[in-house]
Structure 1
Amino acid sequence: MTLFRVEECRGEQPFASHASSRRPKSLQRQIAEALRTATQASVLFPWKLRLYSLFQPKIEYFQLLGFHGPELGELLSKNGILLGCSLNKTLVPSVKCVRQIVNNKKDLIKVLQRYAEWIIPRQQRVLDNAAFFKSCGIVGSQLSFLIKKNARLFAMRESLVRNYVSRAVNLGFSVNSRMLVHGLRTISSMSIVKFNRKLEIIQSCGFSRDEAMQMFRRTPGLLGRSETRLKFKIEVFLDKIMLPKSLLVNNPVILMLNMEKRVIPRWRVLKLLISKNLLMNNPSFLRVLHMREEKFLEKYIS
């Protein structure tokens, strides 16, 4: 194994003796850029290949997948395993495996950028876990959604994956329901302690444990917010906008909306129009929140 340190990788000199004059310059620049990206971040990057010529087939393969320029350099610098594993025995079969799950090339690139080091060396686990998710009703676009949001799930031991699914079912998500994938994504991204702490945040705002669980089951992503942000949003709706708690329990999805760009501005506009008696009927604020931006501007601003 060779370690290329910062002072050794400032240019393309380490490769000069190996580079053939017939190699395209763009290829040389992309490999050099990958090394510079790694070293500029003060990373000791472990290159497992001894000869420059061994880089070429993999670089060309990544180019065919859609990686170019800085994007390619970033991929290689963050995922050293990509240049250290076998092209035909590991890389190509693993990418083919992911391709069967994601919807398109754009999603494939996104998954590899974020999770390559997790999924590339664990091809069989990815296949086995994907098959298990399908048996639970997580198929098609939902399976693609899950690997984009948390590909680590696909690389875990099957026993751990089954435990997560069991937890989701115990929390009220049915197998074969469309909400299972969302519940699974949320609970697999945090510890049980953190999960319970976020439920306690909701309860501290005046909701019962049962109401907090109803909100989670209706909008699982709600617990993906930070504790501070979650509390802030609930308090704005209850204390400033004065919405009844029952409305939040039944429509927790509005807590996912951007407060500064959507909720508070629309509330202020509506409040002003009502105070000046410019509306024939007071509209439902919930309906106003769900309006498309163009429709809202046309109806209340223009």
Structure 2
Amino acid sequence: MADAEKTLLPKLEFFCSTGISRMDLARTLSYDPALLKISLQNRIIPAYNYLKSLLLSEDKVMKILKNKPWIFLENLSKNVVPNIELLRELGMPPSGIALLLAHAPNIVMKKHELFSEIVGEVKELGFEPMKSSFVSAIRVLSGKKTIWSRSSEAYRKWGWSEDDILSAFKLNPMCMTNSEKKIMETMEFLVNKMGWPSASIAKYPTVVCLSLEGRIIPRCSVVKVLFSKGLMVEENFSLASVLCPAEKPFLERFVIRYLDQIPQLSNVYKRKVDIHDIDD
């Protein structure tokens, strides 16, 4: 049985020194009590310092400790260190490595041979290690093959070819992680209710990742009103110009500038007024 004062107390004190709250620490240790069995000096502190050198933030290391503590149980020199070194050799900047480590530390824990294969596949597809999309592609291709198959099948139902799917993946890898329900509902709305060609959506796959209720429908409702009033006849707009901009630029272009003509337009955007209730 562990000597509480000699072995457990120093570990608890160290974990608390990282900034994790006592409540979160209690949850973490109850979820993975093996953290109290490994060596503080030989495993926990070296792992913490290594992660901190990569993440450049104590807060980010604390979040990993709180949410994905199993990386501290790993012998980092076996897979994690070689995997990180591979990314460095390819030219991935510290920000990219930190991004992958912060959001998916389980991926850098994969066996080095498997990790190398995934990274090689991402590179062959034309992704550049200097860009964040390289990290996103690693995350997607590290996932279950069934997820890719499910997403591909959903897009094919809307007429996308294999080239369309691959092109969309290259533009935004995360479009291949959406659920079938999310893909089908978004495509149904954009194609059947808004009239955008399915092939054009393949050119802007980011839109499939956006919230249907929180972003797509409110913005498209505004566009429908503007069309019904004949105010966008000469507007040079596209799917991307409506759905991709941040909120402020969208509001300035499509809402604020038309409030004199359509005072209720702001409420249409906020979904407080149905487009059919706008006065003619």
TM-score by length of 2: 0.82
Q: Match for 1:149: what amino acid?
A: H
- Other-structure match for 2:265: none
Q: Kindly indicate whether residue 159 of structure 2 is the aligned counterpart of residue 203 of structure 1.
A: no
Give the aligned partner of residue 252 of structure 1: 205
The C-alpha deviation readout for 1:49-81, integer Å capped at 9, x for no partner, is: 343553221111112111123122122222222
Cα deviation for residue 108 of structure 1 reads: 1.1
Could you say if the C-alpha distance between residues 195 and 290 of structure 1 is closer, same or farther in structure 2, counting changes exceeding 3 Å? closer
User: For the residues of structure 2 that align with 1:280 and 1:205, how far apart are their CA atoms?
Assistant: 28
User: Mind listing any 5+ residue stretches in structure 1 that lack a counterpart?
Assistant: 2-48
> Is 2:31 aligned against 1:61?
no
Matches within 5 A, 1:59-208: 59-124=12-77, 125-170=79-124, 172-174=125-127, 176-178=129-131, 179-191=133-145, 193-208=146-161
Which residue is equivalent to 2:245? 291
* Aligned-partner residue type, residue 159 of structure 1: E
Deviations 1:179-208, CA, capped at 9 Å, x for gaps: 3222111110222x4323321221111111
Q: Distance in 2 between matches of 1:137 and 1:228?
A: 37
Q: Which letter does structure 1 place at the counterpart of 2:243?
A: L
User: What amino acid is the match of 2:172?
Assistant: T
Determine whether 1:216 maps to 2:161: no
- DSSP 3-state at the match of 2:54: coil
Residue 263 in structure 1 maps to residue 212 in structure 2: no
| Aligned equivalents of 2:245, 2:233: Cα separation in 1 | 18
- Tell me by how many angstroms 1:136 deviates: 2.3
Equivalent-residue separation in structure 2 for 1:92 and 1:225 (angstroms): 38
CA distance in 1, matches of 2:246, 2:224: 19
Change (3 A) 1:128 1:205: same
> TM-score, normalised on structure 1?
0.77
Q: Distance in 2 between matches of 1:195 and 1:280?
A: 39
- Aligned-residue sequence identity (percent) comes to 23
Structure 2 unaligned runs (5+)?
260-280
Do the aligned partners of 1:216 and 1:223 also contact (CA within 8 Å) in 2? yes
Question: Quick check: 1:101–1:143 contact (8 Å CA) kept in 2?
Answer: yes
User: Where does residue 19 of structure 1 map in the other structure?
Assistant: none
Aligned residues: 253
Q: What CA distance in whole angstroms lies between the structure 1 residues aligned with 2:86 and 2:107?
A: 11
**Structure 1 Cα separation of the partners of residues 126 and 60 of structure 2:** 26
In the alignment, residue 143 of structure 1 is paired with which amino acid?
I
